[in-house]
Structure 1
Amino acid sequence: MQHGSTGGLDLEQQSTLAGKHALVTGGGTGIGLAIARALAEQGALVTITGRRQQVLDEVAGDGLFGAAMDVRDEASVCGVIADAVAARGPVQICVPNAGVAEGRALHKTDMAFWRDTMSTNLDGAFLTIRECLPGMRGTDWGRVIAVSSIAGLRGLPGAAAYAASKHGLIGLIRSLSEDYMGQPFTFNALCPGYVDTPIVTRNEAAIAQRTGMSAQDARQVMIDANRHKRLIDVEEVAAAALWLVGPGSGSINGQCIQIAGGQTA
């Protein structure tokens, strides 16, 4: 195994992802799909996973291979990733992105809601990374890019379960970066603010119902939470992921990349 300063690859080699196997959970929509497409455009073979095969089938092709997988289910994660590795080789770019984002006051949070949030956002990332690592460790280059949130760096009013799960994800990534320090694998987290995805649309309705404000005003609450006063485009998050797999990225490790229009934490 080569342990060069650029992770076993020179800069010219690192500039292309041709033939590398990437796996993106929650890859059928939103941020995950944008990242998957960006990786495929650079030549990667990208396994995209999600709970609904139909959604994956609608976007598959052009380097994207859909496989239904429930990140909350250990057997599902183990089986699907094993099949993906058998078909396309070891996963060298692992993007645990699948997540749920729903606010709920703590005194209204039952155990089922808490466990579903943790099982999806934190347990799912743990299982995904764990199952990708054995194959990645047999190569001379690898990147793990977890999609966390600004809520993983600071508290989020009315969303204790969500913020706790995203804080935990950052702790996982930072610890793994220490475990593999000096080896040709890096572990980083993307921490976006409010991104223009179906999750924001669902939250818009939930906020409106909970507070009695209009849907437009509820949407404005999320827009105003981003420092530059606009929703973030999924392509902006994908661009950050491409940077972390691109030339000269080997020294970016254990970091939480804020994508929120300004300083937030």
Structure 2
Amino acid sequence: MSLSGLHAVVTGAGSGIGRAIAEELAAANAQVTLIGRHIDRLGETADRIGDAAFAAPADVTDPDALAAAIEAGRDRFGPVDILVNNAGGAVSAPFMTTTADHLRAMLALNLEAPAEAIRLVLPGMLTRRRGRIVNIASTAGLKGYPYVTAYVAAKHGLVGLTRALALEVASKGVTVNAVCPGFTDTELVARSVELLVDRTGRSADEARATLAASNPQGRFITPCEVAAMVVWLSGEAASGVNGAALPVAGGET
């Protein structure tokens, strides 16, 4: 699959799933603007990709910083053809100790920031009648998990945004889809393992096995598996896929 001549923006591109997505898009000949908070990590991703990558550091929850980063990418590579809203994070706590600030933080990062990024790139896509928006949600956008109610609520919101916006732009050359990974072998899962160890006294191996057991295949998803889905959704072969929330989870949902 070739995405030659297309400009992709990937948020949360400094590590994990975001880095894998950026690398796979570049491997398909797209030019990629990398957005994230951690300058060093973005630089590492850019170095791995080479001239087809441009690092634009920004906190996606800061609308002005996000707008400046996307504009810097446009200055480098031209109009945005593909937007991948990957930046995200989870707060883990029982519901009764989940504060209003926790909920607001999860909504700001996992729902409001993707919506703002879409607002910044969608007008140009509609003018050109060509665009791909891919939101990295989670199986937490399709089902519930205990102790992460704020995160689950935000990811459900992101899936809802995906489905609604897809209908608005369906006849205008733009598709909007969500990819919903299960537990993926990233730093986020590593932190979940640490929490399980602290709360239950299990070993790290036992904690990892507990999380992996939610996948009927008995394993963690790899970042590259998620990236492959994103690249496919970004290409012409997926033109008829719109408003979907596609799980990459071994049959969990």
TM range (shorter): over 0.9
Q: Which residue of 1 aligns with 2:142?
A: 153
Could you tell me whether the CA contact under 8 Å between 2:177 and 2:245 is conserved in 1? Answer: yes
TM-score (norm 2): 0.95
Task: Give the alignment partner of residue 101 of structure 1, picking from 90, 94, 103.
Answer: 90
- Give 3-state SS (helix, strand or coil) of 2:213's partner: helix
**Does residue 207 of the first structure (1) align with residue 196 of the second (2)?**
yes
Could you tell me whether the CA contact under 8 Å between 1:22 and 1:93 is conserved in 2? Answer: yes
Q: Which residue of 2 aligns with 1:16?
A: 2
Could you tell me whether the CA contact under 8 Å between 2:214 and 2:252 is conserved in 1? Answer: no
The amino acid of 1:138's aligned partner reads: T
Partner Cα distance (1:49, 1:211) in 2 = 36
- Give the 4+ runs in structure 1 shifted more than 6 A: none
Q: Structure 1 residue 263: deviation in Å?
A: 4.7
Q: Which residue of 2 aligns with 1:12?
A: none
1:223–1:263: structure 2 CA closer, same or farther, 3 Å change rule? closer
Number of paired residues? 250
Could you tell me whether the CA contact under 8 Å between 1:28 and 1:55 is conserved in 2? Answer: yes
Root-mean-square deviation (CA), in Å?
1.2
Task: Give the alignment partner of residue 18 of structure 2, picking from 32, 35, 52.
Answer: 32
Task: Give the alignment partner of residue 192 of structure 1, picking from 178, 181, 191.
Answer: 181
- Give 3-state SS (helix, strand or coil) of 1:60's partner: helix
Q: Which residue of 2 aligns with 1:8?
A: none
The amino acid of 2:42's aligned partner reads: L
TM-score (norm 1): 0.91
The amino acid of 2:74's aligned partner reads: V
Could you tell me whether the CA contact under 8 Å between 1:102 and 1:203 is conserved in 2? Answer: no
Q: Which residue of 2 aligns with 1:5?
A: none
- Give 3-state SS (helix, strand or coil) of 2:128's partner: coil
Mapping of 1:244-255 within 5 angstroms? Answer: 244-255=233-244
Q: Which residue of 1 aligns with 2:81?
A: 92
Could you tell me whether the CA contact under 8 Å between 2:180 and 2:246 is conserved in 1? Answer: yes
Specify every segment of 5 or more residues in structure 2 that has no aligned partner in the other structure, as ranges: none
The amino acid of 1:98's aligned partner reads: A
